[in-house]
Amino acid sequence: MRSVRSAAWVALLRQREAQPRSLAQQRRGEALRLGAGAAGAPAGAFHDWRKRTKYLGYQLRLLQPGWPKLIKAQRRAVKALQGLLGEDHDLAVLTDLLAELRPQGPTADEPLAGELALNREMRRQSELLRRRARHLGEIVYAEHPKALGKRLGVYWTEAQRAA
């Protein structure tokens, strides 16, 4: 299984999407997406940010053979960001599920105190996760895309040599 996966990664490494310029362009988009992480942004914006952050993690994984220790540290930060965004997404899905399970129609009772307290706590947790994600996202996406592209060009060359 490992060799099949490695062969797939080598093939992907040779594709245009994995090249440093594309990665730098994606990072520029992610930096802009931090604005979508503003307070009050819809859960969908955070979920999209999570998906794009996962793609970044995969791309860094492709480049890791060129500079293993440095890329490993970057991947660790990206994984932490993915985790925060994933937990927030889980809360959003749970909130939606609980709303769907609630009885509807003219005979539906008012929400119980426990339900209201649970909803408040889920919102509080979501806001905390989003604050932490925005902070970490500012670190992950701090580098200017042009500088990133130049730096990753070196990693790209080394990763191809190592593949």
Residue 2: is it exposed, middle or buried by C-beta count within 10 angstroms (0-12/13-18/19+)?
A: exposed
Look at residue 152 and tell me whether its pLDDT is greater than 80.
no
Predicted confidence (pLDDT) at residue 80 exceeds the cutoff of 90: yes
* Residue 47, pLDDT above cutoff 80: yes
The average confidence (pLDDT) of the chain is 77
Note the Cα 108 to chain centre separation in Å: 38
| % of the chain with per-residue pLDDT over 90 | 27
Query: Does 160 score more than 70 pLDDT?
Result: yes
Which of 4-13, 72-81, 114-123 shows the lowest per-residue confidence on average (mean pLDDT)?
4-13
